[in-house]
Structures are given as structure tokens and as C-alpha cells.
Amino acid sequence: MMPPDRVLYMDVKFPMDSYTAFVAAVDQTSRDSLKKDFIAAVRARVTELQKRDYAVVTTEHSLDYVLLFVPNESITGFIHEADPNLIDWALAQKVVLCSPLNLYAFLVVIRQATESFHTEQAASHMMQLMNKFKVQWEKYVKSLDQVKKSFDKMQGELDVLTVGARYKKLAGEVKKIDDLRKQQNVPELPASELADDDIEPQDADEDEVD
């Protein structure tokens, strides 16, 4: 409990699916559209939290603000870049967007406030609990960082496959093949007529000459 016996709510239902769809998009038109969808989803989530009004609907002494947890720092930066007014707008709705790092800062402030209000009330026990929390939090942040690195690596590999030099070279070779087909007046075979059985592997023994 927070001093004086207050509670602070944190919501973790962040629209991660919308962000993942944006990251996985290949062409720029889709990325632009999905970026707008993601920002709209974040705003919708903030509005939903604001309408809940925890301070009224609960019997507990909750603070006026609600935390909306953002999974990692890069997403927070992306939100600020895509919609610079969103974070301030959310604050006006009494919803605070917090990433792992600034969430830890919030918790530090809360811990200091708790120390001020309850110095004479089980301070030693409280600090033990906070230290245990810190250990678990550091483990969590470490695991989260590993996930972020894997995610960034996957995104980099996806970029190489979809817009990198290798993709462009492959696209160029395909175009050359298609141009040659057109020059030779070879009709394009519909995809529905293609079958795996049309191309049979050649037996190595058949190539040998006695």
C-alpha cells in the first residue's frame, strides 16, 4: 500500500499486436497505414482507462492517475516520434505511459514517499520487501533486454529480406528473366498450373556414359 494507504493502478494491456503488425509490414504504404492504426489503438486504450475512473469505481483509496505499461523503451520513443502530443494528452486524461525504466523511477519515488509516511511503522520490513523487489526487477529488466535484442535482430533480418540489397538483386534477376521470356514470346504460366511433379530430379546415374 502507498501512503497514506493509497493504491496506484497499472494497466498492462498494451496494443502490442498493432505495433507488431507495423514492424512486420513490408511496403511503405502498409507501414504508414499500420502506424496510424497503432497510434489510434494507444489513444483508444488511454481513453478506455480514463473512462474507468478507478478512484470512483473502487472502494480502495486509489490515486487519480493510472499507469499504462509500455513494453520497452524503443516503443515509447516511437510513440513520441509518431505522435508528439500523445504523451501529454494522456497525462491530461490522468493516464501515465511508462516504460520499464521510468516505471522503476516511479517505484523509487513511491518507495521514498512510503519511507516518509511510515518511518515508524515497520520500516525495516518494508525495506526488505523493496530490496527483494529490486532483485526481481533487475532480473526482469535483464530478461526484457534479451527479448528486445532478439526482437531487434529479427526486425533487422526482416529488413534485409524485404528491402535490403539481396532482395533488390533477386528482384532484378527476376525482372531479367521476365524480360527474356517476353522477348522470346514465351507465355506466362498461371500459378494454378504449376505443380511440384512438373519438375522431376534427374538421376545422377543417367548422366553417366558407359
Inside any domain, residue 184 = no
* pTM given for the model: 0.51
Inside any domain, residue 183 = no
Q: Range of 80's domain?
A: 7-164
Inside any domain, residue 173 = no
Grid coordinates of 142: 535483464
pLDDT of residue 209: 47
Inside any domain, residue 175 = no
Note if the bond before 4 is cis, omega within 30 degrees: yes
pLDDT of residue 105: 80
Inside any domain, residue 188 = no
Inside any domain, residue 208 = no
Residue identified by cell 523493496 is 130
Inside any domain, residue 11 = yes
pLDDT of residue 210: 46
pLDDT of residue 59: 53
Closest among 95, 14, 103, 101 to 55, alpha carbons compared: 95
Give the residue ranges of the chain where pLDDT is below 50. 204, 208-210
Each residue's pLDDT tens digit, 83-107: 999 999 999 988 989 888 888 887 7
Each residue's pLDDT tens digit, 7-36: 778 888 999 999 999 999 988 999 999 999
Inside any domain, residue 185 = no
Total number of domains in the chain: 1
Grid coordinates of 32: 504508414
Q: How far apart are CA 84 and CA 40, in angstroms?
A: 13
Helices marked H in 13-122 — which ranges?
A: 16-24, 28-52, 54-57, 73-82, 86-92, 100-117
At 132, is the secondary structure helix, strand, or coil?
helix
